[in-house]
Amino acid sequence: MKDVRNGGGKMSYFSNYYDAVRYPRETNEKKGLRQCQLGAIHAIASHFTNSNYPAIITMPTGSGKTAILMLSAFVLMAKRVLVLTPSRLVRSQIQEEFKELQTLLDVGALTNVDDKPKVYELKNKILTEEAWMGLRNFDVVVATPMSISPAVEDIPAPPDDIFDLILIDEAHHSPAATWNKIIEAFPQAKKILFTATPFRRDRKEIKGKFIYNYSISDAYKDGVFGKIKYIPVENIESSEDIAIAKKAESVFIEEKNAGFEHCLMVRTDRNKRAKELEKIYAENTSLRLKTINSDHSYSHVKSVIKKLNNGELDGIICVNMLGEGFNFPKLKIAAIHSPHKSLEVTLQFIGRFARTNAPNLGVAKFIAVPSEIEIESEKIYEEGAVWQEIIMNLSESRIDEEVENKQTLSTFNCVLNRDDETNDLSLASLVPFAHVIIYSVDTFNIDADVVLPNDLLLVNKHISREYSMVVIIAKEILNPKWTRLNMFQKIQYELFLLYFHEHSKLLFISSTRRTEDIYENLAEQFSGIRRKLPLSKINRVLTNLKNPEFFNIGMRNSIQTSNTESYRIIAGPHAQKAIRKSDGRLFHRGHCFGKGIDENREVTIGYSSGSKVWSNSYLTIPEFIKWCNNIANKVTSKGTTLTNSPLDYIPISEEVNAIPDKYIISVDWNSETYENPPIITIKNSDIYLENIQLLDYELQVKDRNEGVVEILFRYYDFEFIIQYSLENGSLFRSEDNLAKRIFINRQYSEISLLDYLNANPLVLYFSDFSSLIGHEYYRKNYDDLIYIDENALEPIEWEENGVDIECEFGEAKDGKISIQDFLNKYLSEKDFDFLYYDHGTGEIADFITAKEYDNRVVIQFYHCKGSGGKKPGDRVEDVYEVCGQVIKSSMWTDINKLRRKLKNRMKTHEKANDNPQNYIRDSFDRFLGILASRETKLFEFEIILVQPGITKSGLSEKISSVLAATDDFCVNQGYLPIRVFCSE
């Protein structure tokens, strides 16, 4: 055929010889193309008939990859080919192959070829545009990225039409900047990526579509991948290095005596270690070895390889070289002094020795000292490790995972993009932290419009209908607080993931901005009726977790208070061992984080109330989906989850779908509200309230009817009602227009009061001091039915003192006085160091007193309630109402909180003019003086219940048990036992 070079519209070399390609099949009688080579080349031809997307070919080392590289140029009728290789040695090998085409000619894949392609081995960096243009004179250019990539300093950008086919050898390097830059420089060129390990330790994406995957097990069955064996070095007397050296010599001699022409590679990781090993082998063995490292010249390396091939050397000492892409089938023995610790490098290394494309080769043998090194959770250097099985399983499972990941990501479509920075976003580059809030939902609208807080701009949205998942990226422009100049602005991006598990109807939301309102808003936009999972279900993420070890455990006090631990955290190795059985009486499960074995893999797992689950890991999108699926399967499983550790002592809240049929004695704010008191604003209202804390509202159960509890919110004369129910999608609702106009100020945005309450539910307390938070019921367990100590009841002569026992405060009837008027007089006659009347909206208690003693200070809270009848009697409502006040005042038994609260209360009373001056006994300064002694004195709290409707002589078991539960609560929180001012 006529020699016609490409250019000027003439046919290229590979187009010219397209008809010269044949596909002979290899048999025992004749040479030809292997089955895997035929599969790969046909897959290439097929792929590029309707796509220009980069193609990935996965084949084990030694399976004839170079022949496919060369054939692809003919099959695709390339104009000009660029071959990228990782090393100079491989570069020379491929250049020789393309130059002579001998491999293809020998097997009959090419016939009737009169001339050879012009092949150029690029050894020096491209420094000028003229140098780029000079490459047009060749059919094939073989280069390393460091000599041709525009990412390298001094190398100019190339014309984008020079190459129309790019062949990437050892393509797992392609995500590196130098490789990626040269690949992207030719956007119209067809690209084929060849690798035995299409994955990386850093999880960076190898861009392309898997079009052919030839597994190690198939290669082994076809005789392409040889047998491998791990030989552990035992009976170490002096040093591990000497023991490995002697074992390597022994194996080498055995192989030679068996008639095999095997060579040895001594592998280490540093030049200094190589020199030490050279001396060790010289002094302890008869092996003839030469060292190759990165400091040696290319000519030296080729000289050593030549001597090795001629039998002048028995082996080489290598420093991180010849690990990939190098073809020398006689290397069959590896003495491993520094084992690789990643799967991809280990497989590349092993592949060098498993080749079968030469005569007289036996089993590849790897010599190393047994160790605990784990690769993908496999201890491959363990005594008795069967490498033939382990390596195949590791390789194939990892490749299958990569193929599945790409298939998963291919189902996503970008449906919105408003930012140049995210134009070419690859979802494979996203690795969100494994943290989700889970909702049980009835529907999932994947096409829902996304509305984010005002400070966030939606810039990118991907959806996968196949996997019911949405990926959202938003950005925020941040201004430093110390300047108004735009020049100091910075952009911060946020990531939001929504994944719907269809079978369980669970919605998983992951957010880089972890504020409750973000999760609630997203859940509302994409679903209908929804609710978070109770801890009883979330706890099931521990199902089938073997050998659990917990590093962080949180225990929630059954009743939230300020005087004692409302939340106890135990941290450290084996934290569960610090839990005592008695803790189960006072605490409920809050959160835990630990590790264990799940499906033969070590995992970390954590969960907490609020339907949160997390793991200490960053996941790709496909891994995130699998992780959520696993969680969904666990939390919807049946039965009780036991860890067989002391963690099981701590009870878990129960999920309920209806408010328990018990008397509600109190309603209180969520602990989150106390810890971070919100400030409210009112929109579109004539009412003006400035800087009012939500905690300043008084809460009161107004009514209860058919599963709905009406809760009154009151701030002096300003009030509204909100309904609380477990039978609807939202816990809290209101038809009151005023309630709908109240908003909570947040750091980044604002949230309506109703949304805030749904994210931070109010707490209902029942007569036995059990509690309900959302759908989670915290049972209060008593070992036996208990009764109040009768000495706690102190009868008062109400009638003799002219008290109207039905009148708590204000003007009484028939010339009598109210209970509070009596108590004011009664307490004024006592020798207190501080006395304050605090009755009113948002009160701490009706009266607050303080008394200093030699070594302690006693602070008392008095709670007054009127009798339910003109005469004392056995009325449970009387005791329920006054006992409910104990819960509210308990939050102010923290000295610092009490000081701040009392200061605010005094200011409020003074401003509102609703506290008669004669009821104020002492100033706030006097109280501060008492508090000044807290470093030297013990502070104790005592709660006194004032209820004339209770009789000591006629105390029933029911009322006694309620008072006993109240006393038990106080004592467990560290308070003094309660006292009750009652009737005789």
Structure tokens at 452: 């984010």
| pLDDT score of 264 more than 80 | yes
Q: State pLDDT tens for residues 507-549.
A: 999 999 988 888 988 999 999 878 889 888 999 999 989 999 9
Strand, helix or coil for residue 52: coil
Structure tokens at 128: 């000028």
What pLDDT sits at residue 4?
Answer: 38
Nearest to 459 by CA among 493, 489, 424: 493
User: What are the residue ranges of helices labelled H in 236-314?
Assistant: 240-257, 271-284, 298-310
Nearest to 78 by CA among 145, 149, 162: 162
Lowest-pLDDT range of 6-10, 169-173, 214-218, 391-395: 6-10
| pLDDT score of 635 more than 70 | yes
What pLDDT sits at residue 917?
Answer: 47
Strand, helix or coil for residue 510: strand
Distance CA 847, CA 49 (A): 87
Residues of the chain by 3-state class (helix, strand, coil), percent to 5: 30, 25, 40
Give the phi and the psi of residue 532 in degrees, each rounded to 5: -75, 160
Q: State pLDDT tens for residues 855-878.
A: 899 999 999 999 999 999 888 888
Residue predicted with more confidence, 671 or 788: 788
What pLDDT sits at residue 2?
Answer: 37
**140-143 and 81-84 beta bridge pairing:** parallel
Per the CB < 8 A criterion, the answer to whether 191 and 54 are in contact is yes
In the predicted model, what is the mean pLDDT of the chain? Answer: 87
| pLDDT score of 104 more than 70 | yes
Structure tokens at 879: 């005791």
Nearest to 334 by CA among 394, 269, 268: 268
The Cα diameter of the chain in Å comes to: 130
Distance CA 436, CA 453 (A): 20
| pLDDT score of 921 more than 70 | no
Other C-beta atoms lying within 10 Å of the C-beta of residue 869: 12
| pLDDT score of 980 more than 90 | yes
Q: State pLDDT tens for residues 414-458.
A: 999 998 888 888 898 899 999 999 999 999 999 999 998 877 899
Distance CA 437, CA 584 (A): 26
User: Is residue 912 exposed (0-12), middle (13-18) or buried (19+ Cβ within 10 Å)?
Assistant: exposed
- What share of the chain in percent tops pLDDT 90? 46
Per the CB < 8 A criterion, the answer to whether 292 and 301 are in contact is yes
- What share of the chain in percent tops pLDDT 70? 92
Lowest-pLDDT range of 141-155, 257-271, 290-304, 488-502: 290-304
- Find the angle CA(214)-CA(218)-CA(221) to the nearest 5 degrees: 150
User: What are the residue ranges of helices labelled H in 54-156?
Assistant: 65-75, 88-100, 102-106, 129-134, 145-148
Per the CB < 8 A criterion, the answer to whether 390 and 372 are in contact is no
Lowest-pLDDT range of 55-64, 314-323, 375-384: 375-384
pLDDT (average), residues 180-198: 93
Structure tokens at 261: 């022409």
Residue predicted with more confidence, 188 or 419: 188
pLDDT band, very low/low/confident/very high, at 565 (cuts 50, 70, 90): low
Structure tokens at 212: 């052919």
Nearest to 38 by CA among 77, 74, 64, 73: 64
pLDDT (average), residues 833-840: 86
Beta-bridge partners for 56 = 193, 210
Residue predicted with more confidence, 39 or 930: 39
What pLDDT sits at residue 685?
Answer: 60
What pLDDT sits at residue 914?
Answer: 52
Distance CA 823, CA 544 (A): 60
Structure tokens at 214: 């030839």
What pLDDT sits at residue 5?
Answer: 46
Query: Terminal CA-to-CA distance of the chain, rounded, Å?
Result: 124
Task: Fill in the amino acid letter for 397.
Answer: S
Per the CB < 8 A criterion, the answer to whether 144 and 169 are in contact is no
Strand (E) or helix (H) holding 132: helix 129-134
What pLDDT sits at residue 1?
Answer: 32
Distance CA 168, CA 315 (A): 30
Distance CA 755, CA 761 (A): 10
Structure tokens at 841: 């909206």
Distance CA 416, CA 422 (A): 10
Other C-beta atoms lying within 10 Å of the C-beta of residue 773: 21
Strand, helix or coil for residue 99: helix
What pLDDT sits at residue 918?
Answer: 39
**What pTM was computed for the model?**
0.68
Beta-bridge partners for 190 = 165
Distance CA 783, CA 906 (A): 43
**Residues in Cβ contact with 45 at an 8 Å cutoff, skipping those fewer than 6 apart:** 75, 76
Q: State pLDDT tens for residues 607-627.
A: 998 899 999 999 999 999 999
| pLDDT score of 317 more than 50 | yes
Other C-beta atoms lying within 10 Å of the C-beta of residue 143: 23
- Find the angle CA(896)-CA(897)-CA(899) to the nearest 5 degrees: 65
Residue predicted with more confidence, 449 or 383: 449
**Residues in Cβ contact with 50 at an 8 Å cutoff, skipping those fewer than 6 apart:** none
Place of tokens 């976003």: 425
Structure tokens at 314: 């028995």
Dihedral sign (CA 683, 685, 686, 692): negative
What pLDDT sits at residue 439?
Answer: 95
Place of tokens 């607050």: 848
HSE-CB of 358 using CA atoms within 13 angstroms: 20
- Find the angle CA(8)-CA(12)-CA(16) to the nearest 5 degrees: 130
User: Is residue 13 exposed (0-12), middle (13-18) or buried (19+ Cβ within 10 Å)?
Assistant: buried
**Residues in Cβ contact with 84 at an 8 Å cutoff, skipping those fewer than 6 apart:** 143, 144, 145, 148, 166, 167, 168, 169, 179, 182, 183
Structure tokens at 293: 């490292």
| pLDDT score of 3 more than 60 | no
pLDDT (average), residues 778-797: 79
pLDDT (average), residues 214-239: 87
Lowest-pLDDT range of 58-62, 104-108, 468-472: 58-62
Place of tokens 């929804």: 530
Per the CB < 8 A criterion, the answer to whether 153 and 126 are in contact is no
What pLDDT sits at residue 323?
Answer: 45
User: Is residue 289 exposed (0-12), middle (13-18) or buried (19+ Cβ within 10 Å)?
Assistant: buried
DSSP 467: T
pLDDT (average), residues 887-901: 81
| pLDDT score of 188 more than 60 | yes
Q: State pLDDT tens for residues 153-177.
A: 999 999 999 999 999 998 888 888 8
What pLDDT sits at residue 36?
Answer: 94
| pLDDT score of 807 more than 70 | yes
Q: What is the dihedral of CA 208, 211, 217, 223, to 10 degrees?
A: -110
DSSP 495: E
- Find the angle CA(291)-CA(292)-CA(296) to the nearest 5 degrees: 120
Nearest to 453 by CA among 526, 518, 362, 368: 518
| pLDDT score of 120 more than 70 | yes
**Residues in Cβ contact with 153 at an 8 Å cutoff, skipping those fewer than 6 apart:** none
Q: State pLDDT tens for residues 672-712.
A: 888 788 888 887 666 666 667 888 888 989 888 888 999 99
What pLDDT sits at residue 919?
Answer: 46
What pLDDT sits at residue 928?
Answer: 84
